[in-house]
Amino acid sequence: MSSIFQKSNSSIEKIFEDAGSPKKVMCIPMDYAKKTHVALACNGAGDQLRQRFNVHNNPEGVQFVLKIADGLCRKHSIRPEHVIFAGEDCGGFCFNFVHALASTGRMIVGVNAGAAAKERENQIASTDELDLRGIASLVIHKKCGRTIGAEHGSAVVLRQLTHHRNSLVKARSASAHRTHHLVDQLLPGFLDEAQSGICPFSQASLWLMSERFSPKQLHARQTNVLLRKFRSFQVHQPAETVRKLKHLAESVLPTPVALCETLQICLGNEVRTYSSLDACVHQMQIGIAKRLASTPGAMLTTVQGIGMTLASGLYAELGDPARRRPAHQMASFAGIVDRLKQTGGPEKEAHSRGRSRRGNRVVKNLVVDTSIKMGMFGHPELKADHSRRVAAGQDVRFTMGRKMLRTSLHLIDHCDFFLPPSLRRNASRNDLRAYYQHAWTKVLVKWRNSGAIQEAYAPGAPLEEWHLMLNDLYGLNLSKKSPQAWQLRPRQQ
């Protein structure tokens, strides 16, 4: 018999079913804290087995709460495998405590803090005991909750890495904004490539800004030194770039002498900060790509328009079985569907109330970015679908986003190679053969640019399995060596 609660935890339902009686199930809700957690014990019928007690956030606290649970099991004839430890989704301060409990083989459940707050008996006040009762009510009624395991899968590890990379990117962007502010005072227009001829924040740009950066100092630099440096940085048309820089240095207003040295010191420090953050981001991207290569998330790169950053982010958020929901619930979880309101009997129609703000903003941003990328760089059929939705007046970020969300879930679950809609039914062998051969080259380039091509085509990796299968089924000779850029350019007749 299926539950009316769509978000119910199947593991909790199985424990209640195996126990035979709610009184043979024990729930220990815990309110996590940095130093001392608060917990109580009750059975599945809501009867309190032990009043509130404190648990220290250390190894002794883990052993103490396990001793309490074992003693209550013996007293009330409850089997240890029918004990559920539950708490709100915790922060980093109690992550090790929860993991230590899970490593003992006990069932640990994490519940949403907002859902637990709604289960409190008093919606005005909030105390430790009221919070514990709200958590226990969610578990006893089997409404929701996710099981926390001792093992951390590839999606969990990637989620930690991608979130850290996003933090580094934000810090790098903040450093770039501060650099813009300082450069606008020292040499306005330098970070505009049309005026200076140098790509902003390139190696040549950072080298010039790192020391003695001002119109006077730049104009005094020897032309042959600048040419030699620009050639080493592979600047396009170095002689023309030097001419533009000299002209820019002569045409701008100079910085006040009293502030020039101070601004140069600040800019030098900011350039070193930016360079360090940029190196960290680059290192993180390579590490993420290497970990993604051995997961089903690697198949997301077979979609034209989805690069390594989007693929790793989507798999990190969608690939964890503990967080997985059906496709329509994932769309609601991401906050890309409207809320519905229907009341007053079956003759009353439902009406939309707009999108909820409680969605997961990380997943929402990834889905919206994917939709935008499809309109810009996606497969021609997806680009045409994107344009059709725009012409129809739809909010293409969300309507196309829902389509790409379903597509991403399918590719992850079935470890499948992306096929455009026209080739999914009644496609000829020659059409499929031509598509795979063309798409394979684009996938190779993505993994080459990410520095993880060897990991992507290592034995047992999903893309390597498809490489062997496509060669066998279609008589192809797909290479594992990425072509160079000049080989991808169309030849002029």
Beta bridge partners of 356: none
Residue 18 makes CB contacts below 8 A (sequence gap 6+) with 81, 82
Work out the number of other CB atoms within 10 angstroms of the CB of residue 438.
10
Count of all residues that appear for the chain in the document: 493
**What is the three-class DSSP state of 294?**
coil
- Tokens 């079935």 correspond to 414
Cβ–Cβ under 8 Å, residues 241 and 189:
no
Cβ–Cβ under 8 Å, residues 25 and 44:
yes
Q: What is the pLDDT along the chain (493 residues), one digit of tens a residue?
A: 566 666 677 788 889 999 999 999 999 999 999 999 999 999 999 899 999 999 999 999 999 999 999 999 999 999 999 999 999 887 788 889 999 999 998 899 988 888 888 887 776 667 878 889 889 988 888 877 788 876 667 888 899 999 999 999 999 999 999 999 999 999 999 999 999 999 999 999 999 999 889 888 888 888 999 999 999 999 989 999 999 999 998 888 888 888 899 999 999 999 999 999 999 999 999 999 999 999 999 999 999 999 999 999 999 999 887 677 777 778 888 888 777 777 777 777 777 777 777 778 899 999 999 999 999 999 999 999 999 999 999 999 999 999 999 999 999 999 999 999 999 888 899 999 999 999 999 999 999 999 999 999 999 999 999 999 999 999 999 888 877 655 555 544 3
pTM here is 0.85
- CATH 3.30.420 assigned to domain 10-151? The reply is yes
At residue 351, the pLDDT reads 72
CA distance 249 to 39: 68
The full DSSP string for 103-130 is HTT-EEEEE-HHHHHHT-S-SS---HHH
* Domain ranges (residues) in the chain: 10-151, 159-289, 293-339+352-487
Beta bridge partners of 218: none
Beta bridge partners of 340: 352
H/E stretch holding 390 reads: helix 380-391
